[in-house]
Chains A and B, each alone.
Chain A
């Protein structure tokens, strides 16, 4: 072997070693955690109160509804499907609960409201899973339909919920707000489902290769329906949480634009729009980042318009991150 080829060989080995240690994958994998840390530090320098336990607890209350929807939504997206109607369903559920409280009492109202969520989840699921309709079109339909339905049922905001219900919105258990506990419960349930159940494996399999999943004997239609039902349930639960927290149910604004917040969080969490992979912990981090962003901007006395614009920019950055990750395979 001549010296030249030896050198070339060495160079190639170096290249490979360099690849193993290259910063690219590290950056794309750690970009989200690093962004969270940097953002926290930045807000801390602007408003020291940002980094206090009480502020973080209040962030957790602010993101509780977003998280409650984002978890089942993320699982649905892993199967390659999407539900754009979550915000409207959240609002509709709130209105339904507000209307039912005087008649049914707290417990029964909660049960019926959750069933309404399940029902609309089922509707979406059957249309998408069974009849193979386009998820985007179907759920754009439910988005519009439910918003209209809510405003028709109750043109004016509803107030005056029973005290035992409002307690859910401000009460604490073991030092943490009840809303925070619910959010954590949903997150942990989601993680356990994805990690330990057949449903979790089947969901990802459908996202990776739906045809192969079908031929291998997975009940694809049933699974998709179940995922939509979970999202419906999550949206209804989030609706109850929202009206408990703000103590009113304004049919015109409750949950408006929520689908965009959820999409932002889920894409930030690294789930590609085509599905097939993703981690709920990262999604939770994405939700948290959005929560920190709005909390910090309020602490800095930024106007709402500015925080909207910044959220938009974050979404585009998240999509860019997704492209980077895919390029690396």
Chain B
């Protein structure tokens, strides 16, 4: 049970001057389920990337079954016996279960795919997992949990010694989660696989893991047997520095409410009751699938609203498109900049002024003037109007995205932001926060959603914590990373599992 399958020594990874992994030493043993925890940006995905071959380490060795590697390609990782199951499914809905299991490695006979053999082998694989799924069913007819199992079967077919699961239960219902746990335990106990199990849910660790490792800032905080790691210890390890907020002068929050939600429900999230005042930055904290994005997009009309009331500046509103929301004084800076807000092949000027052509930005002289003023205010680097949006660093591109709504006199009352500092370095982060504080100081209000507790603690005056579509707490003061992590990692009873599935399906 205790033979070391994989040993990691002093694993490091830097991107430019930023050190993401700062010397990781770990050992994974056969028959053991090793849980892996860490906040966003702790280096989890980079670490998994090094193991799976997606990322080339800067230094260190990965020793698998006695063979040391300084770097792996995805193929080498697979051949060395590392199987990985990603958070986002890599399966194809139009193919059958067996086709998916053998995708890219089909059993051939006379040059054509031998479906009969594939179906039989798939059945065997499922039998090993104590499950029955008809290999000839189209994948699209499977539940989310069953798809997860198909992913596992696919990884198992390559006979791995080390199986990595990256947040496998993020999208599963309670029942499916139990089924998955059974499968994982079976693999570890009966087949002696070493399992690395990444999760956000502290509760889940107690149910499944033998050992826990907490990662923070690219280093291992500690590795302990699961019975020596209680909730408090875990939360503290994930986010130890209860940032001292007392040095922050509380902003002069005015009493005039600007945005009011009463019993507000989008398709997935709610009911939310919330009042946002002028001069206030309100945080919306939650993990992936907590409903952050869903709520924000519903507010600006990019997704539907199910019920409840929504008042902005004293008027009931129901915007049906981002355009309509903007005309009423509400704008969103969406998450995932490259997919949802940046025009990579258009100039910085076009990117900054895109909402205002035909309005504020008339003549080209006026446009250049607006750009120059904005670039100064945003501290845009380089302050070049003609440079393509895609050429800016993450922080400076994000300044352009936020700058769109920060022109004085365009009537934006409330700015919504979703993961505003994704892929933004620390320095630029502070600059972005300053922009937000300046905005609220002039009478605006900000609703900022984030999965990064650091960020929420740094900027939010109050925080609404969301967990699987439901608001679980509204923190007025005493906002610490520890509390945020604790509240959001609790497993909520999953009566909304089906809603969650629908939600994911629409994403």
Contacts known (A214-B322, A215-B332, A217-B331); A198 close to B358, Cβ less than 8 A: yes
Contacts known (A209-B343, A216-B355); A201 close to B322, Cβ less than 8 A: no
Q: Is A261 interfacial (CB-CB < 8 Å)?
A: no
Q: Which of A193-212 contact B (CB under 8 A)?
A: 196-199, 201-202, 204-205, 208-209, 211-212
* Chain A residues bordering chain B, tally (CB within 8 A): 21
The CA-CA distance from A211 to B297 in the complex, in Å, is 12
Neighbouring B residues of A204 by C-beta, 8 Å: 346, 350
Q: Is A140 interfacial (CB-CB < 8 Å)?
A: no
Neighbouring B residues of A276 by C-beta, 8 Å: 345
Give the residue among B341, B354, B404 with the most A Cβ atoms within 10 A. B354
Contacts known (A198-B358, A202-B357, A217-B323); A212 close to B342, Cβ less than 8 A: yes
The CA-CA distance from A220 to B124 in the complex, in Å, is 51
The CA-CA distance from A198 to B355 in the complex, in Å, is 9
Give the residue among A201, A217, A219 with the most B Cβ atoms within 10 A. A217
Q: Is the CB of B355 within 8 A of A217?
A: yes
The answer, among B325, B331, B339, B354, for a CB contact under 8 Å with A205, is: B354
Q: Is the CB of A218 within 8 A of B342?
A: no
Q: Is the CB of B345 within 8 A of A277?
A: yes
Q: Is the CB of B343 within 8 A of A212?
A: yes
Neighbouring B residues of A198 by C-beta, 8 Å: 357-359
Q: Which of B353-382 contact A (CB under 8 A)?
A: 354-355, 357-359, 364
The CA-CA distance from A209 to B358 in the complex, in Å, is 19
Q: Interface size for chain B: under 10, 10 to 19, 20 to 34, or 35 or more residues?
A: 20 to 34
Q: Is the CB of A215 within 8 A of B343?
A: no
Neighbouring A residues of B345 by C-beta, 8 Å: 208, 276-277
Neighbouring A residues of B346 by C-beta, 8 Å: 204-205, 208
Neighbouring A residues of B334 by C-beta, 8 Å: 212, 215
Q: Is the CB of A215 within 8 A of B357?
A: no
Neighbouring B residues of A217 by C-beta, 8 Å: 321-323, 325-326, 331, 355
What residue of chain A has the Cβ atom nearest to residue B338's Cβ? A209
Q: Is the CB of B339 within 8 A of A201?
A: no
Interface string of A236-263 (1 = CB under 8 A from B): 0000000000000000000000000000
What residue of chain B has the Cβ atom nearest to residue A202's Cβ? B357
Q: Is the CB of A216 within 8 A of B357?
A: no
Neighbouring A residues of B350 by C-beta, 8 Å: 201, 204-205
Neighbouring A residues of B343 by C-beta, 8 Å: 205, 208-209, 212-213
Neighbouring A residues of B341 by C-beta, 8 Å: 212, 215-216
Q: Is B344 interfacial (CB-CB < 8 Å)?
A: yes
Q: Is the CB of A218 within 8 A of B354?
A: yes
Q: Is the CB of B323 within 8 A of A208?
A: no
Besides A198-B357, A213-B354, 19 new A-B residue pairs in contact (Cβ under 8 A), listed by A number: A196-B364, A198-B358, A201-B350, A201-B357, A202-B354, A208-B343, A208-B344, A209-B339, A212-B340, A214-B321, A215-B300, A215-B322, A216-B354, A216-B404, A217-B325, A217-B355, A218-B354, A218-B355, A219-B323
Question: Which residues does B use to contact A, with CB under 8 Å?
Answer: 300, 302, 321-323, 325-326, 331-332, 334, 339-346, 350, 354-355, 357-359, 364, 404
Sample of 28 A–B contacts (CB below 8 Å): A197-B358, A198-B357, A198-B358, A199-B358, A201-B357, A202-B354, A205-B343, A205-B346, A205-B350, A205-B354, A208-B345, A208-B346, A209-B339, A209-B343, A209-B344, A211-B339, A212-B339, A212-B342, A213-B354, A214-B322, A215-B322, A215-B332, A215-B340, A216-B355, A217-B322, A218-B323, A218-B354, A218-B355
Question: Which residues does A use to contact B, with CB under 8 Å?
Answer: 196-199, 201-202, 204-205, 208-209, 211-219, 276-277
- 6 closest cross-chain pairs (CB), A and B: A198-B358, A198-B357, A217-B326, A217-B323, A201-B357, A208-B343
